[in-house]
Structure 1
Amino acid sequence: MVLRTELSGRDEEILTFLNRHRYATTTHIRDVFFAEHTTPTAGTRACIRVLHRLLHNRLIARLERRVGGTARGSAATIWYLDAAGERLTRPEGARRRRFASVSTPFLAHILAVTDTHVALIARARTGAFQVERVDLEPDTWRSFLTRAGTAGILKPDLFVHLATTDYDDLWYLEIDLGTESIPVLLAKCCTYTAYKATGRAQAEHGVFPRVLWILPTAARTARLRAAIHAAADLDDRLFVCTTFDAFLAAVEDPDVSSEPTPNNQERRNP
C-alpha cells in the first residue's frame, strides 16, 4: 500500500480532483495539472507517466470504454479512483464510494461537468477572472421548504464564484446534453424560483446566483430561452441560456447576454 507521505503534492491534487469529479480523461488531468509544459504533446506524455505510476500503485483505475469526440489514444482514457485512492481521499466517517460501474448517459454528463470546470480553470489562467470557488454535486444540493410547505431540493450541477477587479459573479450551472424534454428543464427552473423565494441563497451568498443553462445546440438553446420567456411564473432575467462553445463569454460578461442582468442580484461589487 502506498502511504500518503510517498505522494507528491501534485499526486494528491490529482486524487482530490478525481474524488470530486468521479471521472476525468487524461486530457482533463493534463489541462489542469500539466499546463506548464511547452506543448500539449509534452504535457500529455508527462501526465501519462504520472497516471501510469498511480495506476501501478492501485490509486487510480481506468474504464474499459473511451470517451468519444476528437480525443484519441491515451488522451481519451477515462480515470477514476481505485480502492487505495478512494481510501486516501475519503473524509473521516464517510462511506466507501465505488466508481467502476456507471451507465453511459451518467458518465457522459459527469464528463461534461468536468469539461466545464476545466474550461473555467484554463480561462482563468488568461487573467479573464479568478475562480474563487467551485462546488460540485452533492455539495451544491440544498433542501428547502416551499411557500406551500412542501419539501423541495435544488441540485445544480455546479456552483461557481468568479471574481474580477470590478465584480464578483455567482452562478448556478446546469449542463444539459439534450436527454431531457424542455418541460423537464422548465420544472427545474421553477425549483430555482421556489428556492429563491426562501431567501436562503441570499443569506448564504449575499445575492441570488444567476442560473446558466449550457446546452448542446443553438436550436435547443433558443427553444429553452423561448420557453422560459413564455412561462408566466418564471423571471427570464434570472436565467441565461447558451451553448458550451459560448458559455465562457456568458460568464465573463453577463450583460452582453440577451437577458438583462437583474438589479442587485447576480453580479455584485467586491
Structure 2
Amino acid sequence: MTPRAFPSTPSSGRRVRSALVVALAETLTDREWSILATVNRLRLVTGLQLERLHFAELTGKSRSVVRWRVLKRLVDAQALTPLARRVGGSLRGSAQLTYALDTAGERLLRLRRNLSQTKERIRRPGPIGDRFVAHTLATSELYAQLVERSRAESFTLDNFQAEPAAWWPNGAGGWMKPDAYLSISAGKFTDHWWVEVDLATEAVPTLRGKFLAYIDFVSLGQLGPGDVVPRVLVTVPTLERREVVASVVAKLPAPAEEMFAAVLHNEAVGLLTAELSEATHE
C-alpha cells in the first residue's frame, strides 16, 4: 500500500459525521473491531504486528494480501491513520507502517463503549517523536510476542495494559508509571508484572529514581493489580545495558533483588513463561 501524506501526529484532523460513524459501525467485521481495540490498547502498532496478531490463521501470500486490504479499508474510513514515517527494514507497504487511531476509529470505539456500557478508555497518543515511536512499538512487540507464545504454549495472557492504562496509585498521592502491566496464568497460578521498556536512553540517576519508586511502593505497604505487588520486568536492548541495570538494582535496598528482573527485549517472553512454569512445578 502506497502511504498517503499523513502528518506525524495520529489524527488527520478531518471531521467525520456521526451518521457515517454509525453506518461504518454496522459494516465492521469482528476482525476489524479487534484491530481497533488493539491499536487503542497499545496506541501505536506496526502493520506487521497487526498481521501477526489478527491474521495468524491465514497462510502464504493471502495473509499479507488480506492484511493489506483490511488496513487500507480502515485507513480509507479514517478509523486508522498511518504515521508518515516507516519503521525501517526491508518490508514493503502496510506491514512497514505504524498505525494509530484516527478520528473515526476513536468515535467508533466510543460508540461501542456506550452501547455495551463498558468502561474501556479511548487512548490516543499526543505529538509523536522518534523516541516515543520506538518506545511504544517496543511495548507493542512484547504484547505481540506474548499473544503468539500463548497460542503455542499452555498459558493464558489474562491482561495487558500499556501506559497510561497501566499506571497505578502509589499510595502517596502520585502514580506508579510503568510502561505496561501484564498478568499471565497457567492452571491456578497467576503472575503479575509491571514492565519497564528501557532503550538505553536514560542516565543511571534516572534509572535509580525510577526503580526507587517501586521500593517506596512496597515500603508504604501498597498493593497493585490483583491485590499483589507485581514484580518488575526491565527489558533492555543489549547485554551491556543489562549489566548497567543489574548494577543499579544491586545498590538498592530490599526487596530490590527479588523484585526486579532485567532481560534483553527478545528474551522477555521466555523469562516470563519460565518464571510461570517454575511456579506451577513447585
Among 236, 243, 246, the alignment partner of 2:267 is 246
Identity of aligned residues (%): 30
- Which amino acid in the other structure matches residue 116 of structure 1? L
Give unmatched runs, 5+ long, in structure 2. 1-19
Equivalent residue runs for 1:141-220 within 5 Å: 141-146=167-172, 151-165=173-187, 167-201=189-223, 204-220=225-241
Q: Quick one: distance in 1 between partners of 2:166 and 2:41?
A: 12
Do 1:190 and 1:234's aligned partners in 2 also have CA atoms closer than 8 Å? no
Among 34, 40, 44, the alignment partner of 1:19 is 40
Q: Quick one: distance in 2 between partners of 1:71 and 1:223?
A: 33
- Which amino acid in the other structure matches residue 193 of structure 2? W
Matched, 1:226 2:247: yes
Q: 1:241 to 1:99 in 2, by over 3 A?
A: closer
Q: Quick one: distance in 2 between partners of 1:114 and 1:96?
A: 17
Q: 1:36 to 1:94 in 2, by over 3 A?
A: closer
Equivalent residue runs for 1:18-167 within 5 Å: 18-39=39-60, 41-69=61-89, 71-90=91-110, 99=125, 101-146=127-172, 151-165=173-187, 167=189
Q: Quick one: distance in 2 between partners of 1:171 and 1:104?
A: 27
Q: 1:226 to 1:255 in 2, by over 3 A?
A: farther
For normalisation by structure 2, the TM-score amounts to 0.81
- Which amino acid in the other structure matches residue 164 of structure 1? A
Q: Quick one: distance in 2 between partners of 1:98 and 1:161?
A: 23
SS in 1 for 2:229: coil
SS in 1 for 2:82: strand
- Counterpart of 1:264 in structure 2 is none
Q: What is the number of residues matched between the two proteins?
A: 254
Q: 1:194 to 1:122 in 2, by over 3 A?
A: same
Deviation string for 1:167-225 (max 9, x for gaps)?
Answer: 211111111111111221221111111112333326x5243211100001011011111
Task: Give the superposition deviation at 1:30.
Answer: 0.4
Task: Give the superposition deviation at 1:99.
Answer: 5.0
Q: 1:154 to 1:247 in 2, by over 3 A?
A: same
> CA RMSD of the aligned region, Å?
2.6
Give unmatched runs, 5+ long, in structure 1. 262-266
Deviation string for 1:61-94 (max 9, x for gaps)?
Answer: 1111000245444311111121111111135599
- Which amino acid in the other structure matches residue 174 of structure 1? E
Asked which structure has the greater RCO (Cα within 8 Å, sep 6+), the reply is: 2
Q: Quick one: distance in 2 between partners of 1:98 and 1:170?
A: 25
SS in 1 for 2:250: helix
Q: 1:104 to 1:88 in 2, by over 3 A?
A: same
Q: Quick one: distance in 1 between partners of 2:80 and 2:182?
A: 27
Do 1:26 and 1:44's aligned partners in 2 also have CA atoms closer than 8 Å? no
Q: 1:78 to 1:168 in 2, by over 3 A?
A: same
